[in-house]
Amino acid sequence: MLPTEPLCWLRLSVACIRASWTQIVQSTVPSFCVRGNRIDQITFKLNCVQSKVVPISACVKWSTGSLQSGVMSRLSALLVFRQRTMALLLLLGFASGLPLALTAGTLQAWLTVEGVDLRTIGWFALVGQPYTYKFLWAPLLDRYAAPFFFGRLGRRRGWLLLTQLTLAGGIAAMGALTPRDAPWLLAALAFSVAFLSASQDVVFDALRADILSAESRGAGAAVSVFGYRVGMLVSGGLALVLADSVLGWGVTYALMGALMLVGMLAVWRLPEPASVPGVPVTLRAAVIEPMREFFSRHGALTLLLLVVLYKLGDAFAGTLSTAFLIRGAGFSATDVGAINKSLGLIATILGALLGGALMARLRLWGALLLFGVLQAITNLGFMAIALVGKHYALMVVAVFAENLCGGMGTAAFVALLMSLCDRRFSATQYALLSALAAVGRVYVGPLAGWMAEAMGWSWFFFATTIIGLPGIALLLWLRARIEQLDALSAPMGDAESTVPLAPAKTT
């Protein structure tokens, strides 16, 4: 008989994660190769312990070598963060995340303080549409070099520097306007800034996919997410404080525009990725060839389904987490702001960095599986709050765990998207894949609200864990395909590499 109480399901889920962890460990432990004969390392270790087959001296030698190997493996996972490329990706991530709040939450706060009516503020929400539809002009950024002298920097760096320079001017120009006197001119400028910011994201994502090797994708994704979140924090929380108490709105926006210099300096220091044969030479090819290349791959539709499903359960839980903590659990808005937002942001950054480090050891499939299971299971922390009631310690643990594992999952997921891109069309393909991944996050809201009302909070958050299971099951089914994708991805090299590289295999 199946259990009928959420608490019973919680115990069952814990048993499932233990079983999944065992499978991951067994699949990622390396094996010895002695003159062509494969000796299972786990069996070797058991024989050492039981002293039945292997002499004691061999056991000591194996234990010492195993310890040294483990230490070196952990060091190599951390040393990848010391590459110059990672520092530059951190700065570019910061420049990518900086403009977002300036056309969203920070702009909304400015309009509210200036006394703009709510109907007009509502219309201002539409200025963020370019972030959703950026894949429409991504082929142009794949096909054409940037105009004027920017094109001399290369296909990726030229567009990056151009968008960052115009973003700096656009953000500063927004600060020169007064919302009450020229609201629609401000809206037009905000839309332009959002368009330029979305274009910068397209080029940055393509450049990151071009320069990172399979071994460094996890770390590259982690530092990019870290920089992006810090940029959002600066243009969101810090900008509000400066505008309200220190500088005023106009000077604050001018300062935010000046901070785009961080990204420009990173562009100057980062060499252009090596060119590859087969780059589209016509606009028609830039639009059609990325689609044709991707759908010519074996299992392309299944991979797209994985992109949609992998973080779907996380999206359902995140949509209503704030509403639940305030209305369902009875926490104050101050509690939610201090713990769910601030602590959650810190946990997400830590999770992204931890996930990037672990990916060097687990590889792509192992990281996707482990992090996918964890991000699904940690949704049950909110179910525990719904069952127990208002409990600050439990809230801290649940919020920290959910955001930590969500950040780990994001690092692995971004690495997956990069591995799916062909370098010839990386701007277009990554833009399309990221837009597809956003479908769940954008459109689950109405269904999530209906489910929470119909099922109650405890069963709703249990359901979000169940919603995450199809993505994990699909990941298990696609194990050979993803491992092949990880192994056969053409090594991109780091930013210092100038050796021409072959196109990624698509079979």
**Are 209 and 191 members of one domain?**
yes
More confident residue, 89 or 67: 89
More confident residue, 49 or 235: 235
Q: How many CA atoms lie within 13 A of 114 on its CB side?
A: 21
Judge whether residue 56 has pLDDT over 50: no
Look up the domain containing 189 and give its range.
82-273
**Are 339 and 238 members of one domain?**
no
Asked whether residue 21 is domain-assigned, the answer is no
pLDDT band at 13 (very low <50, low <70, confident <90, very high): very low
pLDDT of residue 192: 94
Mean pLDDT of 274-288: 76
Distance CA 380, CA 366 (A): 22
- Domains contained in the chain, number: 3
**Are 96 and 190 members of one domain?**
yes
**Are 58 and 178 members of one domain?**
no
Q: What is the CATH number of the domain that holds 353?
A: 1.20.1250.20
Q: Which of 11-25, 164-178, 317-331, 437-451 has the lowest mean pLDDT?
A: 11-25
- DSSP secondary structure of 403-472: HHHHHHHHHHHHHHHHHT--GGGHHHHHHHHHHHHHHHHHH-HHHHHHHHHHH-HHHHHHHHHHHHHHHH
**Are 166 and 295 members of one domain?**
no
Mean pLDDT of 193-211: 91
Asked whether residue 208 is domain-assigned, the answer is yes
**Are 298 and 149 members of one domain?**
no
**Are 154 and 43 members of one domain?**
no
Amino acid at 401: A
Judge whether residue 78 has pLDDT over 90: no
Are the C-beta atoms of 54 and 44 separated by less than 8 Å?
yes
More confident residue, 104 or 56: 104
pLDDT of residue 66: 45
**Are 256 and 119 members of one domain?**
yes
pLDDT digits (tens, 9 = 90+) for 101-123: 898 888 888 888 888 887 787 78
3-state secondary structure 267-296: HHHCCCCCCCCCCCCCHHHHHHHHHHHHHC
pLDDT digits (tens, 9 = 90+) for 236-259: 878 888 888 888 899 999 999 999
Name the DSSP letter for residue 56.
H
Name the DSSP letter for residue 128.
G
Asked whether residue 20 is domain-assigned, the answer is no
**Are 455 and 476 members of one domain?**
yes
Distance CA 58, CA 76 (A): 26
Asked whether residue 334 is domain-assigned, the answer is yes
Mean pLDDT of 125-130: 83
pLDDT of residue 400: 93
Residue the block writes with tokens 């404080």: 241
Q: Which of 54-63, 133-142, 269-278 has the lowest mean pLDDT?
A: 54-63
Asked whether residue 498 is domain-assigned, the answer is yes
| Residue among 207, 229, 213, 217 nearest 356 (CA) | 217
103 Cβ partners below 8 Å, 6+ apart?
Answer: 127, 128, 190, 191, 193, 194, 197
pLDDT band at 489 (very low <50, low <70, confident <90, very high): low
More confident residue, 66 or 200: 200
pLDDT digits (tens, 9 = 90+) for 211-220: 887 778 888 8
More confident residue, 396 or 320: 396
Asked whether residue 30 is domain-assigned, the answer is no
Judge whether residue 499 has pLDDT over 70: no
- Taking CA atoms, 311 is separated from 103, 319, 379, 414, in Å, by 26, 12, 12, 11
pLDDT digits (tens, 9 = 90+) for 363-392: 899 999 999 999 999 999 999 999 998 888
φ and ψ at residue 39, rounded to 5 degrees = -110, 120
Residue the block writes with tokens 């699909």: 474
**Are 297 and 213 members of one domain?**
no
What mean pLDDT, rounded, does the chain reach?
78
Residue the block writes with tokens 């190769």: 33
Asked whether residue 14 is domain-assigned, the answer is no
pLDDT digits (tens, 9 = 90+) for 21-47: 444 444 444 433 333 333 344 343 434
**Rounded (10°) CA dihedral 394, 396, 399, 403:** -130
Long-range contacts of 181-189 (CB under 8 A, 24+ apart): 183/111, 183/116, 183/120, 187/123, 187/124, 187/127
**Are 242 and 352 members of one domain?**
no
Assigned token pair, 432: 């399309």
More confident residue, 391 or 334: 391
Mean pLDDT of 171-180: 90
pLDDT band at 8 (very low <50, low <70, confident <90, very high): low
Rg (CA), the chain: 24
Judge whether residue 190 has pLDDT over 70: yes
DSSP count for the chain of H helices, then E strands: 24, 2
Distance CA 471, CA 374 (A): 13
3-state secondary structure 188-253: HHHHHHHHHHHHHHHHHHHHHHHHCCHHHHHHHHHHHHHHHHHHHHHHHHHHHHHHHHHCCHHHHH
Mean pLDDT of 77-82: 62
pLDDT of residue 194: 93
pLDDT of residue 116: 80
φ and ψ at residue 265, rounded to 5 degrees = -65, -40
pLDDT of residue 181: 84
**Are 137 and 240 members of one domain?**
yes
Residues of 462-479 as b/e, b for ≥16 C-beta within 10 angstroms? Answer: bbbbebbbbbbebbeebe
